[in-house]
Copies of this chain bind each other. A is one copy, B any other.
């Protein structure tokens, strides 16, 4: 036997007994932002979408079959909640990992330890013959330059600077160590190294290697590069303090030419009053091939889709044009973001505001905002007026970068914002096999979507003055 709880009667009574005319502007906003949170926490679709992207489709490297599946899946889902949806062509290099990597470390007695390793994205492979050489450990790129060709030549350079755990925001710790992965292999190659091993970019101590892009500079040799786990990095460090240690690396990865044709997914709801002013929400649909790309950046995609879903549920018709853009190939070249901005500029569009979610599906902290120097102060002042209605949800707004995919829109002289959830766990999973739905908390994900939807509502309702 089932009975309607008394509590619900009370809520229904409460709802109908507040005369709209008696509410202040702030009350209207507070009520609508409350209703955004209610509808997403109770009926949000973002977690189910993310489950499909992460578990049924999986890792979505640009150019891969999985990326293609993700494009069609999100297009079909968006068609139910947007006025128009289209695929916007862009290109992406297609890099494949190939067979599972072999990474071994060998001490001076010839004893061999098999450790886990992941080829860095964009890396060349070793070929089936593999590469073997003596390891030299360094902590900075300058150290490679200082040691010079005499020391580096013919060796395997091991970049082992840990992420600094004392940063409260883990993205700052990442920023302080990522040069080793992005530029380290190319700098090592400049001085004659035959391969590079990079400590995984995480504050966690575990056995999970983290991939991510490495970049080869024109005019220098391209050498194979792999990431190893932090535990294995510490082990290797200890061995190197008392011994000469070699590594054997075998990777099958390669970039398949020519570049692939792929797509951004763009959904739109036309604005009723200011159709020419665009408010964009987006994330990137591609991910690395390992894991499910759940936090990076399936979360940002489903956050953005949920904005449309929730506003439709609430029968909110926007005054400005809303765009939900799922960018392709953020991870390995930014092809989607650059193509989107180029097309937008060609069409003389104006993005009044663009918001990117690319920091995971964790409990929201707020938003960073960015704009060209001459307009920043004016825009920031307008945003801070909204803090009182965002405060019950513990959301703040502060100055900072927005997102890689929307950054090319900065020349349109609008507002750029980045969604900022709690950062503590992000680099536990970033670019790994473990970035799957089971490390995403449904409430945290939904609260992120509600935070972004609330901001979109305020941007749409009040607009922004650029005078």
A424–B2 CB distance below 8 A: no
| In the A-B complex, the 5 residue pairs with the closest CB atoms | A5-B139, A41-B165, A38-B166, A424-B443, A424-B444
B1–A42 CB distance below 8 A: no
A-B contacts besides A2-B237, A2-B241, A37-B166, 9 pairs, CB < 8 Å: A2-B137, A5-B161, A6-B139, A6-B143, A203-B443, A204-B442, A363-B422, A365-B394, A425-B443
Residue in B136, B237, B393 whose beta carbon sits within 8 Å of that of A168 in the complex: B393
Tell whether A240 is near chain B: CB-to-CB under 8 Å: yes
Closest beta carbon of chain B to A364's beta carbon, Å: 10
Tell whether A142 is near chain B: CB-to-CB under 8 Å: yes
Residue in B5, B137, B203, B422 whose beta carbon sits within 8 Å of that of A422 in the complex: B422
Contacts of A237 in B (CB 8 A): 2
Contacts of A170 in B (CB 8 A): 443
Contacts of A326 in B (CB 8 A): none
Q: Within A343-376, which residues are at the interface with B (CB < 8 Å)?
A: 363, 365
Tell whether A138 is near chain B: CB-to-CB under 8 Å: yes
What residue in chain B is nearest A8 (Cβ atoms)? B139
Contacts of A110 in B (CB 8 A): none
Give 13 pairs: A residue, B residue, CB < 8 Å, sorted on A: A1-B137, A2-B237, A2-B241, A3-B138, A4-B139, A37-B166, A37-B168, A168-B392, A168-B393, A363-B363, A422-B422, A424-B447, A428-B441
Closest beta carbon of chain B to A230's beta carbon, Å: 12
A42–B165 CB distance below 8 A: yes
Tell whether A140 is near chain B: CB-to-CB under 8 Å: yes
Tell whether A381 is near chain B: CB-to-CB under 8 Å: no
Contacts of A4 in B (CB 8 A): 139
How long is the Cα–Cα vector from A1 to B1 in the complex, in angstroms?
73
Contacts of A241 in B (CB 8 A): 2
Closest beta carbon of chain B to A291's beta carbon, Å: 18
Interface size on A, residues (CB 8 A): 43
How long is the Cα–Cα vector from A170 to B38 in the complex, in angstroms?
14
What residue in chain B is nearest A142 (Cβ atoms)? B6
Residue in B1, B137, B168, B394 whose beta carbon sits within 8 Å of that of A447 in the complex: B168
How long is the Cα–Cα vector from A288 to B4 in the complex, in angstroms?
32
What residue in chain B is nearest A203 (Cβ atoms)? B443
Given contacts A165-B443, A424-B363, contact A5 B140 (CB under 8 A): yes
How long is the Cα–Cα vector from A165 to B441 in the complex, in angstroms?
13
Contacts of A161 in B (CB 8 A): 5, 7
Q: Which residues of chain A have a CB within 8 Å of any CB of chain B?
A: 1-7, 37-38, 41-42, 136-140, 142-143, 161, 165-166, 168, 170, 176, 203-204, 237, 240-241, 363, 365, 392-394, 422, 424-425, 428, 441-444, 447
A3–B137 CB distance below 8 A: yes
How long is the Cα–Cα vector from A324 to B140 in the complex, in angstroms?
42
Contacts of A139 in B (CB 8 A): 3-7
A1–B136 CB distance below 8 A: yes
How long is the Cα–Cα vector from A204 to B442 in the complex, in angstroms?
8
Contacts of A363 in B (CB 8 A): 363, 422, 424
A240–B166 CB distance below 8 A: no
Contacts of A393 in B (CB 8 A): 168
B240–A2 CB distance below 8 A: yes
Contacts of A2 in B (CB 8 A): 137, 237, 240-241
Contacts of A240 in B (CB 8 A): 1-2
Closest beta carbon of chain B to A100's beta carbon, Å: 26
The winner among A137, A424, A425 for most chain B CB atoms within 10 A is A424
Closest beta carbon of chain B to A416's beta carbon, Å: 23
B447–A143 CB distance below 8 A: no
How long is the Cα–Cα vector from A49 to B251 in the complex, in angstroms?
40
Closest beta carbon of chain B to A155's beta carbon, Å: 10
Closest beta carbon of chain B to A188's beta carbon, Å: 14
How long is the Cα–Cα vector from A363 to B422 in the complex, in angstroms?
8
How long is the Cα–Cα vector from A441 to B444 in the complex, in angstroms?
15
How long is the Cα–Cα vector from A5 to B140 in the complex, in angstroms?
7
